[in-house]
Amino acid sequence: MFNQQQLESILSSLPDPVFILTRSGVYAAIFGGNDVRLYHDGSNLIGSSMFDVLNEEKASWFAGVIEMALQSGGLHIVEYKLSGSDVKGAGDGPSHAIYFEGRVQSLSFEVNGEAAVIWVASNITDKNEIQQKLRQLSETDALTGLYNRRKLNETLDHRLTLFKRDNAQTSVLCFDVDNFKRLNDELGHQAGDTALVEIALLCRHYLRHGDVVARVGGDEFMVVMPDTHRGDALDIAERLRKRVRTTLKKALRYESTISVGVSEFVPSDRFATEVQERADEGLYQSKRNGRNRVSAL
C-alpha cells in the first residue's frame, strides 16, 4: 500500500514521539514528535542508553516499565513526569516538570539482538494541570483557602490505616469561634468572614507544614496532626488558642476567642469518624466549662 519512503514520511509526521527501546534501555529509533509546541527533537538520543541520559532512579523506572510490557506482551499504559533533575547534564532537562502518558507495547521481533518495545509518549501537562486545579477546587474551602471536609476525611482515613499498621499516632484538634453569631450581629458578616480568614492565615503560619487544616463548616475548624500524641497536641492547641485571641483583637479590635477539643486514635477505633467525634465532644466540653479553653478526650 505504501512504499518505504511514504512510510517514513508518515512516521516522521506523527505529532507525538514514538520510541523504539530495547530491553537494556537503548534508544534504537525515534519517530514523530512533530508537534514542536510540545516536544524537542530527540534524534540525538538514538544509540544512547537511558542510563546515560537519565539519572539512575528514573532510568531504572523506565527499565522496569519496559520489562513489564515485555513480560505481559500486551499494551501497558503509564503516567509519569520528567523534570530537569531527571536528566543528566546541567541545562539539558526541561525547566519545569512535564507530564506524559506512555503507551508501551512489546514488539514481536528483536531489535539489535534484543527484545524491544514501542513507547508512544503523549504530553499531558495541560490535562494534568486542569486535573490538579479541579482536584484543588474539590478539596478547598472557597473563603479561607483551607481544605474542606472531603480532604479532611481522606487524610484521616489514611492516618487511621497507618495507625493500625505501624502504630503511627495522629492527633486531631477541633475548634470554633466562641459567640460567633454575636460577632456577626455586632460587627457584620464581613467581619465574621475576616475573622475566619485571619484564623486560616494564623494556622498556615503557626502549624507545621505536614498538618492538615480544614474548615468543616461555619466557624468550625479541624486540624489533623500526623505523628503527634495527645499531650503534644494539647500544648499546641493551648498556644493556638492564645494566638487566635491576640490575632482577632488586632484584626477586628474585638474580643473573640476559640474553644478547642483534642483527641487521638485509640486501638478500638474502627472508623476515622470516631476520633473526630471525640475531638468534637472535647470542643463542647470546653464550651460547657466556660469557653476559651482546651479539653482533651
Q: Classify domain 4-131 at the CATH class level.
A: alpha beta
Extract the C-alpha cell encoding 152: 479532611
Strand partners, 172: 224, 263
Q: Which grid cell is 153? A: 476525611
- Residue 88 is predicted with a pLDDT of 85
**pLDDT of the residue at 13:** 85
In this prediction, residue 83 carries a pLDDT of: 87
No. of H helices and E strands in the chain? 9, 10
Superfamily, domain 140-296: Reverse transcriptase/Diguanylate cyclase domain (3.30.70.270)
Common-topology check for domains 4-131 and 140-296:
no
- Is residue 241 a contact partner of residue 292, using CB atoms and an 8 Å limit? yes
pLDDT of residue 4: 82
How far is Cα 104 from Cα 204, in angstroms, rounded to an integer? 43
For position 137, what pLDDT does the model report? Answer: 76
Query: Residue 253: its pLDDT value, please?
Result: 93
- For residue 172, count CB atoms less than 10 angstroms from its CB and return exposed for 0-12, middle for 13-18, buried for 19 or more: buried
Give the pLDDT means over successive 10-residue stretches in the chain (297 positions): 81 89 96 83 90 94 96 94 81 72 96 96 90 81 94 96 96 97 96 97 94 96 97 97 96 95 97 97 97 97
- Helices marked H in 141-272 — which ranges? 149-166, 180-187, 189-206, 230-252
- What is the model's pLDDT at position 155? 96
What is the per-residue pLDDT for 33? 87
**Predicted pLDDT at 36:** 76
For position 49, what pLDDT does the model report? 96
Predicted TM-score (pTM) of this structure? 0.66
Domain spans in the chain, listed from the N-terminal domain onward: 4-131, 140-296
> DSSP string of 140-170?
B-TTT--B-HHHHHHHHHHHHHHHHHH---E
